[in-house]
Amino acid sequence: MTIQQLDWFGRLQDSVPQFLRPIEFRIVQTREEFQAASHLVYREYLKRNYTRQNASQMKLSLYQALPTTATFIAVRRSRVIGTISLIEDSLLGLPIDEAYKLELDRLRRARRHVAEATMLALDTDMFGHGVFTMFHAKKLMLTLRLFKVLFDYLRTSTPADELVACFNPKHQILYDFLQLRPLGRLKSYSSANGNPAVARHLNIAETEQHAKAHVAYRFFFGLTPSAKPFAKKLVLSPADLRTLFVAQTSIFASASPTELHFIKSCYPGYDFQQILQPAFSNPA
C-alpha cells in the first residue's frame, strides 16, 4: 500500500466525511431490506452484463437461504444504496467454487474456515451517469465502510479465519486497498454471466497483526468490534423462505435433492412440505 493510500485512510479515520454522515451502515434486519438489497444487486449487475434478466428482478442464490449468510446495507433516508453479503463455507461450498474450487480446497486442507464476500453493489444513480468505477473517491469510501461492517461481523460472529472474493479485474483497486492476495488466475465466471474474474484471499489473523503497524489496517482491525450491532440479523422465517425461494424465484425447485436436504437441516422445526408447495406464479 502506498504512502498516499495510507494518508487517505488516516483522514478517513479521523473524521466521517460529510458525504457519509446521513448514511447508516448495518446488517439486514427485515425481509423488505433483504429484497431491496437483492434488487439493487440485480439492477446494477444487469447494467454491466453481470447477470441476466429475470421476473423477480432480484439477484439471489441458494447460498442466501442459509442462516449463516449475512447481508449488509448502506441506507440513506430509508433507501438501500449499497450492499454486500458474506457467505460462510458449508456442505454447499461457496459460489466461488464454481471457478476456483482447486484453490479453495487448498485452504480447506490447511484447516482454514473460509467465508466469501460477494454480491457487492452500489446505487450508481447517486453518482450521476457514466461508467461505474471504483476509482471514484465517494464510491470507494462508501464501499470501504460496507467492508468495515462486514469485517466486524466476520470477526465477532463467525468462526471464519480466511476471507475470499471473486471479482471483475477492473475493480482491482478496491481489493488492493483491502490487501487481499492473489488466489487464482483470470478465468471466465458463469455466475457473472461469463465475464472475466480473478480470485483473492485474506487471512484474518495475519491482517490483524499488520493492523498494529499501519493506519490502513487499523481502520478495519485496530479496535475489537462488538457483536451487539448484529443481534438484529434477519432470520428467515418459513414465510420468508417460501416468498423468496419458491414464490418469487425457482431456486428451491432448481436445487438438487442433496442441496435441499442440507437447507432443510439448517431449519429444524420448519415445515418444508408447506414451504415447498408449488407457487401459482411462474417465476423465471
DSSP state, 115?
A: E
Contact assessment for residue 203 and residue 161, using Cβ atoms and an 8 Å cutoff: yes
User: Count of domains in the chain?
Assistant: 2
- Give dist(CA 255, CA 263) in Å, integer: 10
Choose between 132 and 229: higher pLDDT: 229
123 and 189: one domain? yes
Q: Which residues fall within 8 angstroms of residue 232, CB to CB, at 6 or more apart?
A: 27, 29
Q: Which residues fall within 8 angstroms of residue 283, CB to CB, at 6 or more apart?
A: 54, 55, 56, 247, 248, 249, 250
170 and 275: one domain? no
122 and 73: one domain? yes
174 and 256: one domain? no
- The radius of gyration of the chain's CA atoms, rounded to the nearest angstrom, is 19
208-231: pLDDT as tens digits? 777 776 666 677 777 788 999 999
242 and 217: one domain? no
Q: Which residue has the cell 479485474?
A: 169
Kindly state the cell numbers that stand for 24: 447508516
Expressed as residue numbers, the domain containing 180 is 3-235
Q: How confident is the model at residue 12 (pLDDT cuts 50, 70, 90)?
A: low
The b/e string for 118-131 (b: 16+ C-beta within 10 A; e otherwise) is bbbbbbbeeeeeee
CB atoms < 10 A from the CB of 53, how many? 8
Return the closest-CA partner of residue 37 out of 70, 67, 66, 62.
70
CATH value at residue 112: 3.40.630.30
- Average pLDDT of the residues in 143-147: 90
148 and 60: one domain? yes
227 and 244: one domain? no
261 and 131: one domain? no
Return the closest-CA partner of residue 149 out of 171, 120, 169.
120
DSSP state, 226?
A: P
42-93: pLDDT as tens digits? 999 999 888 999 999 999 999 999 999 999 999 988 899 999 999 999 999 9
231 and 264: one domain? no
Contact assessment for residue 46 and residue 53, using Cβ atoms and an 8 Å cutoff: yes
147 and 203: one domain? yes
185 and 266: one domain? no
Choose between 181 and 13: higher pLDDT: 181
Residue count of the chain, please give it: 284
135 and 223: one domain? yes
| The pTM of the whole model exceeds 0.75 | yes
